[in-house]
């Protein structure tokens, strides 16, 4: 290859240096990006817009080239921060906390650009660099909150029109049927895509921070309102057609049409922003800064490749006390609905009339989570949860929950705790946090223990029976 050809290739790489750095990040951090990309091709799920977001993200970076390298006021700060973030990603990847690993990648991307091009250049590109957040799975954690908000908003709208309806949390009982605001009706996709559209509009128009924030706020409200209005229209259609309309069962297309109409109006009237042209003869960073950025970027992935945290699990053992009467998990007063069942056992303490269930999860490979996602734990279409509080006098952490059948109004009290290795924790999020040191310590087992008792005249006595049973029967 001639020197002139080599010079042209080097010049081309330098002109597209942001894309080169982005490609390096994609290759080095494949352990996080590969499973995320698998969600993006599941077209019927909440991240089916992922590839479109990433494609637009790459286009915006390409369009903004060439980037001008600026002498940083704190040139020594970005590289250590990048190494720290890369090592933090490695730790999160080791213990399989996927959502945080995805989020920290966005910060790593900004830090590698700050290391190579300087802080000022990276800060100018923050609106573009933040765009991939809409392609991460963090939004799934908002489902329960969004369902609750939808229930409150739609319930208030139904009361305003004064139709005969009984509203019980996320359930709306009409004279002709029952409409449930399920997890699929949370409106999460409308919210995320609405925010992404607002974010893109602000990026394309180069809005200043105040206008950028206002655009995101409008997009946020439109995403929420679109879902609330969709559910309200379905309720009204169900009432006036005596639940005979097909809209009650099949409202996916209707929802997207309504969302598109609501988003189109503010998008059309949104002001055009400044036109910013990329620098023609932008100063390029020295080779030493480019190499420093790449070395720091590779710190976490290289160490991850050398660390072996392959679990050595023991077979799942019987967990419940042998003195309990063996029974099926379907005999629980409120059958648990879990995303992952694991090894399930159930038993009955006939003296206290307390039903026990243990779900045991064993981490089999390095890509398995010690504490998998379990979900709400009950069917929200049938049951409503209330009055959660910490158990006192048990000797270890645990949580009481009161659950009520929406149709029969019968009540069940539940006592539940998580055992991660030798540590007993009261809630899923505590167990999730404890997963970090437990995984690093080599623990391979997590057990969800659930006790349930039926409420007769008083749920207080049911709590006492649960406490007495939990004290009487030992756990390993």
Instruction: Please indicate, yes or no, whether residues 216 and 125 belong to a single structural domain of this protein.
Output: no
Q: Kindly indicate the confidence band of residue 252, based on its pLDDT and cuts at 50, 70 and 90.
A: confident
Q: Identify whether residues 258 and 292 lie together within a single domain.
A: no
- Is 315 contained in some domain? no
Do 120 and 160 belong together in one domain? no
Digit-coded pLDDT (tens) for 45-78: 678 889 999 999 999 998 887 777 776 666 678 8
User: Do residue 101 and residue 175 come from a single domain?
Assistant: no
63 lies in the same domain as 170:
no
Residue 329 within a domain: yes
How far is it, in rounded angstroms, from Cα 358 to Cα 381? 24
Domain range for 13: 3-139+284-306
Look at residue 406 in the predicted model and tell me its pLDDT: 87
By the 10 Å C-beta count (0-12 exposed, 13-18 middle, 19+ buried), 371 is classed as buried
Taking only the tens place, the pLDDT of each residue in 373-386 is: 888 888 888 888 88
pTM: 0.85
Reduce the DSSP state of residue 358 to 3 states and report it: strand
pLDDT in tens, 340-390: 777 888 999 988 899 999 999 888 887 888 888 888 888 888 888 888 888
Residues 343 and 437 in one domain: yes
Rounded-to-integer distance, Cα 154 and Cα 180, Å = 11
Q: What CA–CA distance (Å, rounded) separates 96 from 215?
A: 35
Tell me if 35 is assigned to some domain.
yes
Is the pLDDT reported for residue 219 higher than 80? yes
Q: Does residue 457 lie in a domain region?
A: yes
- Same domain? 123 vs 147: no
Residues 434/425, Cβ–Cβ less than 8 Å: yes
Q: How confident is the model at residue 323 (pLDDT cuts 50, 70, 90)?
A: confident
> Same structural domain for residues 227 and 356?
no
- How sure is the predictor about 277, in pLDDT bands with cuts at 50, 70 and 90? low
Domain count of the chain? 3
Are residues 145 and 133 both part of a single domain? Answer: no
Cβ count near 96 (within 10 Å): 21
Q: Are residues 183 and 119 in the same domain?
A: no
The number of residues making up the chain comes to: 476
Question: What is the mean pLDDT of the segment spanning 223-236?
Answer: 92
Same domain, 31 and 132: yes
Residue 441, in any domain of the structure: yes
Residue 39, domain member (yes or no): yes
Q: Where are the alpha helices (DSSP H) in 73-167?
A: 78-94, 98-117, 119-124, 126-129, 143-161
- Residues 103, 78 share a domain: yes
């Amino acid at each position: 290859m001639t020197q002139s050809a080599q010079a042209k290739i080097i010049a081309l790489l330098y002109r597209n240096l942001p894309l080169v750095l982005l490609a390096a990040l994609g290759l080095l951090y494949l352990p996080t990006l590969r499973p995320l990309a698998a969600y993006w091709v599941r077209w019927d799920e909440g991240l089916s817009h992922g590839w479109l977001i990433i494609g637009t993200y790459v286009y915006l970076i390409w369009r903004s080239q060439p980037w001008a390298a600026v002498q940083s006021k704190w040139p020594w700060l970005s590289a250590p921060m990048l190494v720290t973030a890369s090592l933090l990603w490695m730790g999160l990847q080791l213990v399989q906390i996927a959502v945080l690993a995805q989020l920290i990648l966005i910060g790593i991307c900004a830090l590698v650009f700050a290391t190579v091009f300087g802080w000022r250049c990276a800060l100018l590109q923050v609106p573009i660099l933040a765009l991939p957040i809409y392609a991460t799975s963090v939004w799934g954690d908002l489902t329960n909150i969004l369902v609750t908000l939808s229930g409150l908003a739609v319930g208030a709208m139904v009361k305003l029109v004064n139709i005969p309806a009984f509203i019980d949390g996320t359930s709306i009982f009409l004279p002709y049927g029952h409409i449930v605001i399920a997890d699929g009706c949370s409106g999460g996709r409308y919210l995320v895509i609405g925010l992404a559209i607002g974010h893109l509009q602000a990026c394309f128009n180069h809005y200043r921070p105040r206008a950028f924030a206002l655009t995101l706020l409008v997009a946020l409200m439109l995403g929420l309102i679109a879902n609330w209005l969709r559910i309200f229209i379905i309720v009204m259609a169900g009432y006036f057609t005596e639940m005979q309309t097909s809209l009650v069962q099949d409202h996916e297309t209707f929802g997207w049409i309504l969302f598109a109409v609501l988003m189109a109006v503010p998008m059309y009237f949104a002001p055009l922003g400044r036109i910013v042209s990329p620098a023609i003869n932008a100063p390029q960073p020295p080779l030493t800064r480019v190499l420093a950025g790449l070395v720091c970027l590779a710190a976490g992935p290289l160490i991850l490749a050398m660390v072996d945290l392959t679990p050595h699990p023991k077979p799942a053992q019987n967990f419940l006390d042998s003195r309990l009467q063996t029974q099926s998990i379907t005999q629980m007063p409120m059958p648990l609905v879990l995303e992952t069942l694991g090894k399930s056992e159930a038993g009955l303490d006939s003296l206290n009339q307390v039903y026990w269930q243990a779900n045991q999860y064993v981490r089999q490979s390095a890509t398995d989570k010690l504490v998998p996602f379990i979900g709400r734990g009950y069917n929200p279409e049938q049951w409503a949860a209330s009055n959660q509080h910490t158990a006192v006098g048990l000797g270890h952490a645990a949580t009481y929950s009161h659950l009520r059948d929406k149709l029969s109004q019968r009540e069940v009290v539940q006592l539940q705790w998580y055992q991660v290795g030798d540590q007993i924790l009261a809630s899923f999020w505590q167990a999730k946090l404890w997963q970090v040191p437990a995984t690093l310590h080599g623990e391979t087992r997590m057990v969800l223990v659930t006790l349930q008792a039926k409420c007769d005249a008083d749920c207080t006595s049911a709590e006492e029976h649960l406490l007495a049973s939990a004290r009487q029967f030992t756990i390993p």
